[in-house]
C-alpha cells in the first residue's frame, strides 16, 4: 500500500511538471528561431561590413590580429576567459560580422553570441584566409 501511494505521488509530480517544462522549451525554441546565424562567403561579408549596419568582430588572438585584420574590426579573443563578458558591451541592435582564421572559432563565437541575445549574426565562411584570397583589404 505504501509503495503504491509512493508511486502515485511520484507519477503526479512528474506529470504536473511536464507542461511547465514544455512551455520553457517552446520559449527557448522561439528564441533560437528568432536568432539566425548565417554563414556567408567573403563577397557577402564584405558587402555587409561596408553597409554600416553592424560591427566586424575578430575573435582571433591579439597576436594573430596584429599580423593583419579586416579594417575597423574589434578584436575580442574567444580564448580569453572573459570573452562572454566582453561581448556584453557590444550593441544588440547591430548586426555582428564575426570572423577568425578559417571559420571554426568564429562559428563557435557566433553560437555564444546567439546564446547571449544577439539576433543578427554573420559568420565569415573560410575566415580571413578566404577574405585575403579574394583580394579584400587587410589592415595591420
Active site residues: 100
Q: How far apart are CA 117 and CA 119, in angstroms?
A: 6
Contact status, residue 102 vs residue 112, Cβ threshold 8 Å: no
Q: Which three cell numbers stand for residue 25?
A: 522549451
C-alpha cell at 38: 548565417
Q: What is the largest CA-CA distance in the chain?
A: 78
Q: How many residues does the chain have?
A: 140
Amino acid at each position: 500500500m505504501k509503495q503504491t501511494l509512493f508511486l502515485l505521488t511520484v507519477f503526479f509530480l512528474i506529470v504536473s511538471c511536464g507542461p511547465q517544462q514544455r512551455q520553457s522549451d517552446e520559449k527557448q525554441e522561439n528564441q533560437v528561431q528568432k536568432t539566425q546565424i548565417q554563414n556567408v562567403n567573403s563577397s557577402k561579408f564584405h558587402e555587409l561590413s561596408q553597409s554600416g549596419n553592424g560591427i566586424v568582430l575578430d575573435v582571433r588572438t591579439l597576436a594573430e590580429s596584429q599580423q593583419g585584420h579586416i579594417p575597423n574590426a574589434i578584436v575580442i579573443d574567444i580564448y580569453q576567459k572573459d570573452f562572454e563578458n566582453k561581448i556584453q558591451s557590444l550593441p544588440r541592435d547591430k548586426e555582428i560580422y564575426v570572423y577568425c582564421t578559417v571559420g571554426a572559432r568564429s562559428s563557435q563565437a557566433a553560437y555564444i553570441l546567439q546564446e547571449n541575445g544577439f539576433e543578427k549574426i554573420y559568420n565569415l565562411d573560410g575566415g580571413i584566409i578566404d577574405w585575403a584570397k579574394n583580394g579584400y583589404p587587410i589592415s595591420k
